[in-house]
Amino acid sequence: MDTKPKRYVFLLIPGFSPLGMTCAQEALALANRFHGGRQYYEWMLLSHDGGPVTAWSGLQVGVDAGLIDLHRDDTLIVCAGVDAPAGSTKRILGWLRRETRKGIDFGALSSGTLTLAMAGLLGGRRVTTHWEYSSALAESYPDVEVDDVIYAVDGRVFTCAGSASSMDLMLDRIQRDYGAELASWVADQMVYTAPRPETQAQRGPLAGQMGLRHASLSHAIEIMRQNLEDPLPPSEIATMVGVSTRQLERLFARYLGSSPNKYYLGLRLEKARNLLSQTTLSLMEICVLCGFKAPSHFSKTYRKAFGVPPSRDMGGSNLLGLRK
């Protein structure tokens, strides 16, 4: 039996989420405490230049090396978070292409999935990322299947939403590496006695998220979320959920302190803000994707909501390799 520990290599992209990375690394460390004294895992942290990397929270993390040559039996994980495209330099993307050609298992936490897509490594793959980045990924890379789940495994490629879902992904990795007994023991050590399956959605039902007690209101908001590109009038939404338009307005006023139109507009503007900062889509394309008929109207509405014109939030010039 091969007793050589498996090595996991974490590439930290500036702005990465320390929560997701720590959850993943801690799972490996706990596995090494399993009875018998065997070392199951070893790991190392990399950065683009071998220097410390600053997380989105401001925390600086030292690493073991720069972009070294990996072994064929290594497992690579790209850890990212806020503004992953800006930190995914051409050098990093080239290194990812070269190293993954060795046939290694590789994956990503949170918006590290965007980095892998920028490197051209996800075409035709089923993946996931944090829900905040899923629209940008889906719109910029239509050949990538983006699923709203906590983690996804497609052959040798694995991705997760980051944060707490990193625990679920790593428990799955441990089970695949060494079996259910070790994975279950690690879950108990993490006081995580009910690991979630791969098919678990990232966000729970709206009623649970927002404390909403009215099913019609939750249903109406879900309809809005599913129809941001072609907004529906409140009367049509009301019909779909089985209430009158006036009843729908009362529900929004009572539970959310807003009108259906205002709330719907907020959802569309938030999507627009994410697309502006995370993709190279043009202003006109973002207008269409968020249900606005004219750039002038979109710009005026955006400025009123966020205090700056949409051009201020456009990150296209910094998104190296991020393409339509």
pLDDT (tens place) for every residue of the chain, 324 residues total? 578 999 999 999 999 999 999 999 999 999 999 987 899 999 999 999 999 999 999 999 999 999 999 999 999 999 999 889 889 999 999 999 999 999 999 999 999 999 999 999 999 999 999 998 998 899 999 999 999 999 999 999 999 999 999 999 999 999 999 999 999 999 999 999 888 888 888 876 555 555 556 888 989 999 999 999 999 999 999 999 999 999 999 999 998 899 999 999 999 999 998 888 878 889 999 999 999 999 999 999 999 999 999 988 886 434 434 333
Residues 121 and 255 in one domain: no
89 assigned to some structural domain? yes
Residues 264 and 171 in one domain: no
* Predicted TM-score (pTM) of this structure: 0.79
Residues 267 and 168 in one domain: no
Residues 47 and 152 in one domain: yes
Residues 223 and 181 in one domain: no
323 assigned to some structural domain? no
Residues 116 and 237 in one domain: no
185 assigned to some structural domain? yes
Q: Total domain count for the chain?
A: 2
The three state secondary structure string of the chain is CCCCCEEEEEEECCCECHHHHHHHHHHHHHHCCCCCCCCCEEEEEECCCCCCEECCCCCEECCCECCCCCCCCCEEEEECECCHHHHCCHHHHHHHHHHHCCCCEEEEECCHHHHHHHCCCCCCCEECCCHHHHHHHHHHCCCCEECCECEEEECCEEEECCCCHHHHHHHHHHHHHHCHHHHHHHHHHCCCCCCCCCCCECCCCHHHHHCCCCHHHHHHHHHHHHCCCCCCCHHHHHHHHCCCHHHHHHHHHHHHCCCHHHHHHHHHHHHHHHHHHHCCCCHHHHHHHCCCCCHHHHHHHHHHHHCCCHHHHCCHHHCCCCCC
Residues 20 and 66 in one domain: yes
CATH value at residue 251: 1.10.10.60
Residues 155 and 25 in one domain: yes
Residue 220: domain span: 206-318
CATH value at residue 150: 3.40.50.880
Of 136, 156, 189, which closes a domain? 189
Residues 36 and 173 in one domain: yes
